[in-house]
Amino acid sequence: MSLQLQSIARTVGGSTHLHPVDALLEPGLHVLLGPTGAGKTSLMRLMAGLDAPSAGRVLQDGQDVTGVPVRRRSVAFVYQQFINYPSLSVFENIASPLRLKGEERGAIERRVREVASLLHIDHLLDRLPAELSGGQQQRTAIARALAKDARLLLLDEPLVNLDYKLREELRTELRALFERRGAVVVYSTTEPLEALTMGGSVLVMHEGRVLQTGPTAQVYHNPASEAVAEVFSDPPMNLVSVEVRGGIARFPQGLELPLTGHLGTLEDGAYRFGIRALHLSLRPKPGLPSLPARVELADISGSETFVHVHAEALDWVVQEEGVHEHGLGEPVTVYLDPTRLYAFGSDGRVRAAPVRGRGG
């Protein structure tokens, strides 16, 4: 099945929830990436037929289904908050859409046990939802959606309420499951790392607009604009305003950077340079340009430390591998690799991007 969105938009009470969106989704995985409030859920509800667009059309295999109610479409939806029938066993929860379709008992039995096995909950089929952990309940909700074998599968941040370890495990399992299906799968997330892990194609969203679409890794490495780069970086991409004159970029902090490589084609003018946190370092890097700064916060997260630094007209985050202690106000030197820099024009569009395989 293909799903085509033709300039669909959503306005409620004079407030625009979704600006016109055009997209063609073929069978496979499509990730909606954007911060909370970007319009991801609004777009998915229009895809499902739960809401009617204020403008535009939704087509399935070329047929207009804009006014067709969700119950008459081949759609399954998994929400952030796992929804299961509390009085039904895990088996009956998974079987419920099949019973509604009037499937034969033997077919139901086979399908339930098949998807339960795929999600490693086949040993829980006799239990009630209240007897399950949060991860097991979410697996049950996902299994029910998979059992339906819908042609359009929508997952709205399905792992957001689970612990880190379980999320990592389920991401891998779900990606493998989606690769074996012939359906259009739409998966929404606020996390760039999750989008990269899931793969497929991506629609980057912000403030009700789709900013860029394409293969997920390609969009990550080649954001079309500053806005896309910020959304597709965690922490958000570090940015600084520079002035380019005669092949040299002048930073507000006094750094003068000769422009070579992918930056060598920049014409004179004002730009915003961007670099991701993982491509900065506080450890000496001989031959690399550097900026003096002071520590404002050191946030230890697992096996990484995110060091927030401040310099004149600059507030950046440096991602360090390992656990590091830094005192408030501690002077540090930030080293940056010019081959990792992005250049954005005054209109926010990308003017120069790192060569794939070296930058990103």
Please report the pLDDT score of residue 138 as a whole number: 87
The dotted CATH code for 3-223 is 3.40.50.300
What is the rounded CA–CA span in Å between residue 267 and residue 263? Answer: 9
Is the sign of the CA dihedral 124, 125, 130, 135 positive or negative?
positive
Please report the pLDDT score of residue 5 as a whole number: 97
Which H or E run includes 111?
helix 105-118
What is the rounded CA–CA span in Å between residue 253 and residue 350? Answer: 23
What is the rounded CA–CA span in Å between residue 153 and residue 115? Answer: 15
Q: Is the pTM of this model over 0.85?
A: yes
pLDDT in 10s for each residue of the chain, 360 residues: 899 999 999 999 889 999 999 999 999 999 999 999 999 999 999 999 999 999 999 999 999 999 898 888 899 999 887 788 999 999 999 999 999 889 999 999 999 999 999 888 999 999 999 999 888 898 899 899 989 888 999 999 988 877 777 788 888 888 888 887 789 999 999 999 999 999 999 999 999 999 999 999 999 999 999 999 999 999 999 999 999 999 999 998 889 999 999 999 999 999 999 999 999 999 998 999 999 999 999 998 878 999 999 998 899 999 999 988 899 999 999 999 999 999 999 999 999 999 875 444
Kindly indicate whether the domain formed by 238-352 is annotated with CATH number 3.40.50.1970: no
State phi, psi for 156 to the nearest 5 degrees.
-95, 95
Tokens read off for 271: 């730009």
What is the rounded CA–CA span in Å between residue 279 and residue 320? Answer: 9
**For the chain, what are the domain ranges?**
3-223, 238-352
Q: Which residue has the tokens 């070579």?
A: 260
Please report the pLDDT score of residue 359 as a whole number: 42
